[in-house]
Amino acid sequence: MALDPSAKRINIKRSLKKYFVDNIELAQSITVTFDKSLSAPKVQGTTITNWVAIRIGSMAKGSESELQVDLYCCSRRDPEGKVLSEVVDKVTQYLSDTTKTDTMARIPFYDTSALPWTSIGSFVITDVIDSEEMEAPDETKFVVLSCLLKWSAKV
């Protein structure tokens, strides 16, 4: 028996990657990395001084599935954390939707098994928790936005 597209991890990861690359990297010009540490990415040999590292966490699949996604908003060479605050604000705008009565953002969810991708629903961001501003030993400042996503899956 084949796994339903709504329960496939590859569809979940690709859908989330598309959303964050389209909205943070392309629309806001903030480099996005996935499943990496806080190491500053290098783009064409240039070290980036602000970026977002996205980690896909634990998942519970069922009729009401849940997924933890952590967005590490990072900056370097930012003594007072001004750039970090700007990055956090730019990212946060994509984690809620004030045009909806519940203010919860929806992330499009696709079956990515064939081109063109087919819409199979959406993830709903139900909770976002901002961490305190922290600093790593290499002077990278960061704030973690921990998001809880929910969707309906057939398992």
Residue-wise pLDDT tens digits, 65-102: 999 999 999 999 998 999 999 999 999 999 999 999 99
Extents of the domains making up the chain: 5-34+69-151
Region at 139 (left for phi over 0; alpha for psi -120 to 50; beta for the rest)? left
Tokens found for residue 143: 């704030």
pTM: 0.92
For 29-40, the pLDDT digits (tens) are 999 999 676 666
